[in-house]
């Protein structure tokens, strides 16, 4: 009697089909599959390998505050490579600068003096530093975009001599 109770509790482990008879025979058994894909966002701004890149502007003395935008002077002026891969649906892209701007001693250059453009502005624009997040629309729940971001220093004000430094943190986020 106890053995019958154990048999009744044993779960079915496989589907099977058993057929008999004359002529053509066919037996079918179903097998279920499941693939589990985790939610993720992969966002890279700059070089691969965990390196934090530097975008440097070297303004000539005669041009300070009078000659218009200045392009990147280090890395041969190369743009910054950016890649965003995500499977979480729409993503918000934002940029937050350290403090009120780039700092040299007690002097500051406002973050608004740093401007960026993207060669893929429709799908992976450069968000304005300190502005509201830029929404990016996913296709079938996925974003797989890359771009080259190019930065300029507006050079629209006469500022004190110094090496002004600061960090911008770019963030890709999803609900």
Contact criterion met (CB below 8 Å) for 170 and 45: yes
Q: What is the CB neighbour count within 10 angstroms for residue 111?
A: 20
Spell out, as residue ranges, where the chain has pLDDT lower than 50: none
Q: What is the pLDDT of residue 20?
A: 93
Is residue 96, in this structure, part of any structural domain at all? yes
Cα(129)–Cα(149) distance, rounded to whole angstroms?
Answer: 14
Closest-CA residue to 149 (of 92, 89, 71): 71
Is residue 159, in this structure, part of any structural domain at all? yes
Is residue 152, in this structure, part of any structural domain at all? yes
Is residue 6, in this structure, part of any structural domain at all? no
- Domains held by the chain: number: 1
Is residue 27, in this structure, part of any structural domain at all? no
Is residue 16, in this structure, part of any structural domain at all? no
The pTM of the full predicted model, rounded to 2 decimals, is 0.84
Closest-CA residue to 87 (of 35, 42, 39): 39
Cα(11)–Cα(34) distance, rounded to whole angstroms?
Answer: 20
Domain of 169? 41-173
pLDDT digits (tens, 9 = 90+) for 47-60: 988 889 999 999 99
| CATH number of 116's domain | 2.60.40
Q: What is the pLDDT of residue 12?
A: 53
Is residue 148, in this structure, part of any structural domain at all? yes
Q: What is the pLDDT of residue 10?
A: 54
Is residue 151, in this structure, part of any structural domain at all? yes
């Amino acid at each position: 009697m106890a053995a019958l109770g154990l048999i009744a509790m044993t779960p079915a482990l496989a589907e099977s089909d058993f057929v008999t008879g004359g002529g053509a025979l066919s037996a079918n058994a179903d097998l279920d599959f499941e693939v589990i894909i985790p939610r993720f966002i992969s966002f890279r701004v700059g070089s691969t390998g965990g390196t934090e890149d530097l975008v440097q502007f070297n303004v000539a003395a005669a041009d300070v505050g009078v000659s218009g935008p200045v392009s990147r002077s280090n890395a041969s002026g190369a743009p910054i490579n950016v890649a965003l891969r995500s499977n979480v649906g729409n993503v918000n892209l934002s940029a937050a600068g350290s403090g009120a701007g780039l700092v040299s001693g007690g002097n500051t250059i406002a973050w608004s003096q740093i401007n960026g453009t993207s060669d893929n502005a429709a799908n992976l624009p450069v968000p304005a530093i300190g502005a509201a997040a830029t929404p990016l629309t996913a296709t079938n729940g996925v974003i797989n975009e890359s771009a080259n971001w190019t930065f300029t220093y507006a050079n629209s004000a006469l500022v004190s001599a110094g090496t002004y430094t600061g960090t911008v943190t770019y963030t890709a986020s999803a609900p």
